[in-house]
Amino acid sequence: MRPISIVHQDPCLTVFKHCSKDTVVICMGSPASCPLCDGELKDWMFSFRQIFAPWKTSESCPCTIVIRPTNGRFLQDYTGVEDLHIGIADSDGQVLHYDDNGIKRDTFWPECLPVWSQPDADLLTYGSGSIPDTQRCRWNNTLTLHTLSWRIDNHAYNEQVRNCFDFALGFVRALITETEPFGNKEMFTSEVILPKIQRLLRFLELYKKVCSTARSWIIQDTKDM
């Protein structure tokens, strides 16, 4: 059994089955041969898949609600207990967010997790150029109005009741006034945000497990995948 050489790029894992029926190999990069039996991987495509890090740049997830660690980065600094910051990416991927200094607009967030888009369209899977104009306009207009009314409201930042999360949730409510499925923070957190964070944590756990081995691959039971 030999180590696999690693090409450093965006975090991504390769999962494949080769000579063992009940286990999969999880590794980084694209190996030319199976690390278990050293066999050539010429006919492995049938069970090959890649798991990409779930975070993106905000430019690649326009018109979404996005979260990032308040300090640091997901891979290096986030373990599931650190504070997160939430913002709203407009149709160009610029992010509006709120903290104790007021509303800010960032040109982009280099690393963020998209957690919500308009319910009538799966915008998380859209490329930046393929969001229908009507939805793009509705998102941007609602964001402009929401930002304006938030500023006019002019209450002070409050860690419990008027923070980045309230700003983002207020926007969501303004966008979907006809149905209001997320009436409170708890529901939005448990139904929208937590499942995305759990998926992120599963990726981080697996990625760190692979990284922690000197050979850069692990095997795992097929039923656990």
Q: Which residues make up the interface to Zn ion (CB under 5 A)?
A: 18-19, 34, 36-37, 39
Nearer to Zn ion, 28 or 34 (CB): 34
Nearer to Zn ion, 3 or 39 (CB): 39
Nearer to Zn ion, 44 or 207 (CB): 44
Give the C-alpha separation, 39 to 185, whole Å: 52
Nearer to Zn ion, 32 or 37 (CB): 37
Element (H, E) at 146: helix 133-153
- Give min distance, CB of 89 to Zn ion, in A: 43
- Give min distance, CB of 190 to Zn ion, in A: 42
Cβ(139)–Cβ(63) below 8 Å = yes
- Give min distance, CB of 50 to Zn ion, in A: 18
- Give min distance, CB of 38 to Zn ion, in A: 7
Give the C-alpha separation, 87 to 65, whole Å: 6
Nearer to Zn ion, 33 or 118 (CB): 33
- Give min distance, CB of 19 to Zn ion, in A: 3
Helix H, strand E, coil C: the string for the chain is CCCCCCCCCCCEEEEECCCCCCEEEEEECCCCECCCCCCECCCCHHHCEEEECCCECHHHCCCEEEEEECCCCHHHHCCCCCCEEEEEECCCCCEEEEECCEEEEECCCCCEEEEECCCCCCHHHCCCCCCCHHHHHHHHHHHHHHHHHHHHHCCCCECCCECHHHHHHHHHHHHCCCCCCCCCHHHHHHHHHHHHHHHHHHHHHHHHHHHCCCCCEEEEEHHHC
- Give min distance, CB of 200 to Zn ion, in A: 30
Nearer to Zn ion, 39 or 80 (CB): 39
